[in-house]
Amino acid sequence: MGEPVTITILQKIGSATVEIVKRRTVVQDLGLITTFPVVTDVVSAISKNPKTVKDLTSQSSVPISWAIDLANGRRSMAAITFPWMMGWNSRGAPELAKYLKFYPHISLVVPLSTSNNSATPIVAVGGGIAVASAFTFSLGATVTEDTSHALLLIGISVTDIAKVISP
């Protein structure tokens, strides 16, 4: 993807070969671009038929977030988010999905410090945006037996940052 290719149409006339058209173009993924953690990686591994472990590449993001409970201002929580990332590439912006994605998510939120020594994880669902595939901003909500939480999740995807930094 993103690599230039040359398309040539040839016609054989007798013993001579005549070049009719020769065009150079770049292959792009257009339309809906989507990834889902683990599922996308398994499908990619099966379809690419890797010969070694080095042939496998990660396609999906699992952001680690700082979670803020908007109801009571509690800030000492972390979250692991499983997003279904969706972006759109058009001919005018063939790499837009690299820079802006929207996603619904399920997040596992874990209190880092509690006054009653209870570090029971909670599950939140919601939606958000990913900027440059590495920085995520989302809202989540959870309803538990005792109380509900409205959460603001601000996170990073370590795998996507590593892709940008590594050669």
- Separation CA 1–CA 57 (nearest Å): 14
What three-state secondary structure class fits 47? helix
Query: Contact 161/136 with Cβ under 8 angstroms?
Result: no
- Separation CA 155–CA 85 (nearest Å): 14
E strand intervals along the chain: 4-13, 16-26, 31-35, 64-69, 77-83, 85-89, 100-111, 122-131, 135-143, 148-156
The pTM of the whole model exceeds 0.85 = no
**pLDDT tens column, 91-112:** 888 889 888 999 999 998 888 8
**Higher-confidence position of 126 and 77:** 126
**pLDDT tens column, 22-49:** 998 887 788 898 888 777 666 666 666 6
- Separation CA 50–CA 40 (nearest Å): 15
The pLDDT value recorded for residue 105 is 93
* pLDDT average, residue stretch 55-70: 74
